[in-house]
Amino acid sequence: MSTKKSTITMAGNDVYLLIKKTSKKISDIVGSTLGPYGSNCLNETQWGTHLTKDGASVLANLSFEDPFENAVLNVIKDAVFKSNALAGDGTTSTTVLINEILNQTLNLVGLEYNGIQVRKGIQEAASKVIEQLKANCRQLGENLSIEENYKKLYNVAMISTNGDTELSDIFAKIFKACGKNANIKLETSGSAETSFKITDGYQLDFGYSSQYFVDNADRTITFSNPRIYVSAEPIDMLPDIMPILNYHIRTGEPVVFFAPHFDTSIVNAIVLSKVKGLKACCVKVNEAKIYLMEDIAKVVGSALLSSKLGMTFKTDANYLGINLFGTASSMTITENTTLIVNGGGDAEALKAHISGLNAQLERNRNNPDNVSMLTERLNKLKGGLAVIYIGGKTNVSTRERYDLAEDAFNACKAALTTGIQPGGGVALARMKRLVSSIDILNDIALEHGKTSAFFLGAKAFIDSLDAIFNRILSNAGIDPRKIAEKILRSQNDFISYDLNSYKEIDHSDPVQNSAFMENEDTIQVDDAERIGIIDPELVIENEVLNAADCAGLLTSLESITVNMKEENKIAEAISNLV
């Protein structure tokens, strides 16, 4: 059998049919988990069995035998995980929205409307919808210690955890105690009990500089009592750090380097040092955030390595790092984040450093850029860390709660950052029928014409906005149209529905039957904040933007080329097209 690498291309109408079929398949699988009545999915991986309702986990483990379907799947994954990376939630909803947009736009390109113009119409409508969402958003109060805001965060967490009251209460308490800059670290408790404790922690939005530092399924590196070096300048000369590496190879102490840039030779040397038993990692801090280096050094108690300050690897190599490195009780590093727990910096020195930053902030009140930078630094230094020990009756149920806890924390953070919207898919569903949405389409029609591909792309996007609302209710076996009627009749522009009030009517019971009620009539429809059905604004914004971007891209495709490693796979793919 030949293993020569070959390619095969699909083009024209076959592409549209493939995208439509694949998108529906993905949406059916991932969308089945959406809402309180969503189903669990069982993922069998090389690391074990994983039962979950978390759409991100389901999608991450999804793959198809057909290489063309996998190509489409990867495009959708990129968009969906972008939503998750930016807002920490919204994976499932983004998947469902993408499918509904494509369901309509691919019909247009099938009728020979220009796919590029359809895509532009989608993007124009999406940007207008975002503007309307921002206008309808409600902000959470700054004081998280008051009961009203505690309840709002509790309700945000309840949506993300599918009604897990214990986890929701924990998250609300954490933000109440630590403020909106709280950070978390999740661990399994090893029992059925779930608990948390608050300690000192410092988190950065930067992660490991190379994937070769990682060797586990979670793509996470955990250090216990690491030695930490902080350089305000690029580390680009291998001879400068070799004494440090050799010293720690001998002592067996794990080591982490922070710098704005690492030469490839440095990264390779540190990766190869793993062969000699050294656990090590490089964290690249964005050069635009170089000011954070001083804070990191204060947190861990290290020197700030800088030629301007007279402290470099080269000039102080004879000390073998003894006067250079800082410490922490632990560190957790992912692709995009670094969490330092119980840094070894002197408490009084750190307190004085924070006081100095506060003084700078007062002196720079008239400089918005400096205010933004100093506020960011102070928030990171003041933010507490909560370690949550997730429990469950089985390993499978523990892992499921672990996934939900990650979603809940990210949702609470997003709500504190950008505010809240009515939950349950209502925020977008109402947009479909609002006067403002009609105005959006009328403006586009005046500029481009009602029969233009641009207008029809915009209309297809607006018409898709009830997809999440419909899927949540259909997963519960409820006709979405009946709930939509109640919501649209209301004068309250912040209304939603509560599936927790849903009851099935027993029509064999004379009392219940005499009321002429249907199951849908038992569902409470009221102000979203009052009934606790709220979603973070940031999550919804990212659902809209990323779904529009992905659906627009797939709508404008004319061909797909995939690599085939085996000739029999090529023949099989060709036969499937016939």
Task: Give the whole-number percent of the chain exceeding pLDDT 70.
Answer: 89
Confidence of residue 1 (pLDDT cuts 50, 70, 90): very low
E strands along 81-194, which residues? Answer: 183-188
Long-range interactions of 38-44: CB distance < 8 A, separation 24+: 38/92, 38/162, 38/472, 38/475, 39/475, 40/400
Question: What pLDDT is attached to residue 218?
Answer: 72
| Whole-number pLDDT of residue 491 | 83
Q: Record the pTM.
A: 0.71
DSSP structure class, residue 140:
P
For 64-73, 200-209, 433-442, 532-541, which range has the lowest pLDDT when averaged over its residues? Answer: 433-442
* Structure tokens belonging to residue 62: 């999804």
The 3-class SS string of 179-204 reads CCCCEEEEEECCCCCCEEEEEEEEEE
Query: Could you tell me the CA-to-CA distances from 463 to 100, 428, 437, 490 in Å, in that order?
Result: 9, 10, 10, 21
Query: Which residues pair with residue 560 across a beta bridge?
Result: 10
Cα–Cα nearest to 497, from 20, 6, 35, 29? 35
CA-nearest of 102, 51, 41, 118 to 475 is 41
User: Which ranges of 221-321 does DSSP label H, i.e. alpha helix?
Assistant: 238-251, 264-272, 292-300
For residues 5 and 565, is the Cβ–Cβ distance under 8 A?
yes
**Which has more pLDDT, 532 or 512?**
532
Please list the residues that pair with 353 across neighbouring strands: none
- The two structure tokens encoding residue 30: 């991932």
Tokens 């699988």 sit on residue: 29
pLDDT on residue 568: 45
Are 461 and 122 a contacting pair, CB within 8 Å? Answer: yes
Q: Give 266's pLDDT tier (boundaries 50, 70, 90).
A: very high
CA distance 354 to 338: 21
Q: Is 387 or 117 the better-scoring residue by pLDDT? A: 117
Q: Give the phi and the psi of residue 422 in degrees, each rounded to 5.
A: -55, 135
Q: How confident is the model at residue 317 (pLDDT cuts 50, 70, 90)?
A: very low
pLDDT of residue 55: 81
Task: Select the more confidently predicted residue: 98 or 88.
Answer: 98
Report the 10 Å Cβ neighbour count for 97. Answer: 31
DSSP-derived 3-state class of residue 50 = strand
Which pLDDT tens digit goes with each residue over 346-376?
889 999 999 999 999 889 888 888 888 888 8
Strands 280-284 and 255-259, by their bridges, are parallel
pLDDT digits (tens, 9 = 90+) for 279-295: 999 999 988 888 899 99
Please report which confidence band the pLDDT of residue 316 belongs to, taking 50, 70 and 90 as the band edges: low
- Check pLDDT > 60 for residue 385: yes
Bridge-based pairing state of the strands 6-11 and 559-564 = antiparallel
Cα(216)–Cα(293) distance, integer angstroms: 28
The SS3 assignment for 65 reads coil
d(CA 473, CA 526): 16
Mean pLDDT of all residues in 240-251: 88
pLDDT attached to residue 217 = 67
Q: For position 471, what pLDDT does the model report?
A: 96
- pLDDT recorded at residue 102: 96
CA distance 117 to 124: 11
| Interatomic CA distance for residues 396 and 403, integer angstroms | 11
Residue 509 clears pLDDT 70, i.e. is over it: no
What is the pLDDT averaged over residues 299-320? 75
- pLDDT reading at 417 higher than 60: yes
Task: Out of 118-127, 450-459, 488-497, pick the least confident.
Answer: 488-497
Token digits of residue 244: 């440090």
DSSP state of 235: B
* C-alpha 389: how far from chain center: 21
Count of Cβ atoms closer than 10 Å to residue 63 Cβ: 10
